[in-house]
């Protein structure tokens, strides 16, 4: 078990959901359980998303071709061989599952995960450009591993760096990051052909 997310204190970097402590697994490589030729490294650990069916910390992973994805704690513990399918998971109160079980989520992402990724990219842009305010029209692209059968690349553009409701700028908040950026295009990709 990595951590008991319901009992142990999880400290996040202020204003984010990124954990201050990567529990010693950041930059660890893992093999994709469903695509043996695909390898991922763990980039960050993030706090649980409230209201999700399966709680626990989340890991952001990047593969060797630059695709990003996320993994819930339960399945990550299996992928990293901290646990085996069928063993009892103390923090969920149920058994661990394997990659071919119905309740396996594995390497995938949803809108909340993509929001965290976009926020991280925006923070890096602010740091790289050396200014808190970002110019409208700025574009970024990202490769996303949505689930086992769906990879894509998307292009995003910055609409404005302000809170439309209050008019305050710059607006570097996680809560409003998706209102600052718009998807220009999304293109399906085959990982094996990239």
User: Alpha-carbon distance 68 to 142, whole Å?
Assistant: 8
The reply to whether 167 falls in a domain is: yes
Peptide bond into 170 cis (omega under 30): yes
The reply to whether 186 falls in a domain is: yes
Give the burial class of 148: count Cβ atoms within 10 A of its Cβ; 0-12 exposed, 13-18 middle, 19 or more buried: middle
Q: What is the pTM of this model?
A: 0.94
> Residue 54: how many CA atoms within 13 Å on its side-chain side?
17
The reply to whether 146 falls in a domain is: yes
pLDDT, residue 55, reads 87
The reply to whether 101 falls in a domain is: no
pLDDT digits (tens, 9 = 90+) for 105-137: 999 999 999 999 999 999 999 999 988 899 999
pLDDT, residue 193, reads 87
Q: How many domains does the chain have?
A: 1
Q: What are the residues whose beta carbons fall under 8 Å from the beta carbon of 71, sequence distance 6 or more?
A: 58, 59, 61, 79, 105, 106, 107, 108
Per-residue DSSP letter, 118: H
Q: Which two tokens stand for residue 147?
A: 């689930």
User: Alpha-carbon distance 49 to 58, whole Å?
Assistant: 9
The reply to whether 55 falls in a domain is: no
Residue 168 structural domain = 112-193
The reply to whether 68 falls in a domain is: no
Q: For all residues of the chain together, what is the average pLDDT?
A: 94
pLDDT (mean) for 37-53: 93
**192 pLDDT above the threshold of 90:** no
Report which of 22, 18, 77 is spatially closest to residue 48, judged by C-alpha positions.
18
The reply to whether 102 falls in a domain is: no
The reply to whether 86 falls in a domain is: no
**Helices H / strands E in the chain, number of each:** 3, 10
């Amino acid at each position: 078990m990595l951590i008991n997310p319901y009992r142990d204190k999880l400290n996040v970097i202020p204003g984010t959901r990124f954990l201050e402590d990567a529990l010693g697994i950041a930059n660890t490589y893992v093999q994709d359980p469903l695509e043996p030729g695909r390898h991922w490294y763990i980039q960050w650990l993030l706090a649980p998303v409230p209201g999700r069916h399966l709680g626990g910390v989340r890991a952001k992973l990047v593969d060797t071709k630059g695709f990003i994805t996320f993994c819930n704690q339960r399945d990550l513990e299996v992928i990293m061989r901290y646990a085996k399918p069928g063993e009892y998971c103390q923090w969920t109160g149920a058994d661990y599952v394997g990659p071919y079980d119905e309740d396996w989520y594995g390497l995938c992402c949803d809108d909340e995960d993509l929001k965290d990724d976009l926020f991280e990219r925006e923070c890096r842009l602010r740091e790289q450009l050396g200014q808190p305010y970002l110019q409208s029209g700025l574009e970024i692209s990202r490769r996303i591993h949505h689930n086992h059968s769906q990879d894509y690349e998307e292009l995003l553009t910055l609409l404005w760096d302000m809170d439309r409701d209050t008019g305050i700028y710059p607006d570097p908040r996680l809560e409003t990051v998706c209102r600052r950026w718009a998807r220009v295009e999304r293109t399906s990709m085959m990982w094996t052909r990239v």
